Amino acid sequence: MSGADLEELCVRLLDRLRGGGQTIATAESLTGGMLGAVLTGVPGSSDAYVGGVVSYATAVKTAVLSVPEAVIEDHGVVSAECAVAMAEGVRALTGADLALATTGVAGPGPRDGVAAGTVWVAVASARDTATAGLSLDGGRDDVRRGACAGALDLALNFQPLA
């Protein structure tokens, strides 16, 4: 996924959000702020993007995003359940209408028994949530860009946004 492709997804999402008077926030793990960076790289993004949390460490997921420790113990940090809890946590923290979350393993090798390229993304609104599991190839940057694209695509296809 090229930078231009990510920018196009951001433009489409931000245009839709601005058109509906909605806001968005991000909760990121493996993407380390990349999702927030590509969103804020679009001129006028401040009309919709309210902020984000980079929760690389598990302790930040629980302390700042209120991810229940039981979710991490039962499902792990690379799971649909953790991604949803992250999205819901950042939405509650920021008051955004919509929130995106990314969690996974960028590589180069596996972590905690989870293969590199394994990613979960989530989107949450006050009414609903959705997740997508991704299996991405390539190096760390490829996986991180793919995770951003997956999160943006999930948001663009999210029914409460339509």
Of 106, 116, 107, nearest to 148 (Cα)? 106
Single-letter amino acid code for the residue at 104: G
pLDDT band, very low/low/confident/very high, at 160 (cuts 50, 70, 90): confident
Where in the chain are the domains?
A: 3-161
The answer to pTM > 0.85 is yes
* Beta carbons within 10 angstroms of residue 74's beta carbon: 11
- Domain covering 3-161 assigned CATH 3.20.20.10 in the classification: no
How are the residues of the chain apportioned to helix, strand and coil, as percentages rounded to the nearest 5?
45, 20, 35
Q: What is the mean pLDDT of residues 31-43?
A: 98
Residue 93: the pLDDT is 98
Single-letter amino acid code for the residue at 101: A
How many alpha carbons fall within 13 Å on the CB side of residue 149?
A: 16
Q: What is the pLDDT of residues 125-145, one digit of tens each?
A: 999 999 999 999 999 999 999
Q: What is the pLDDT of residues 64-92, one digit of tens each?
A: 999 999 999 999 999 999 999 999 999 99
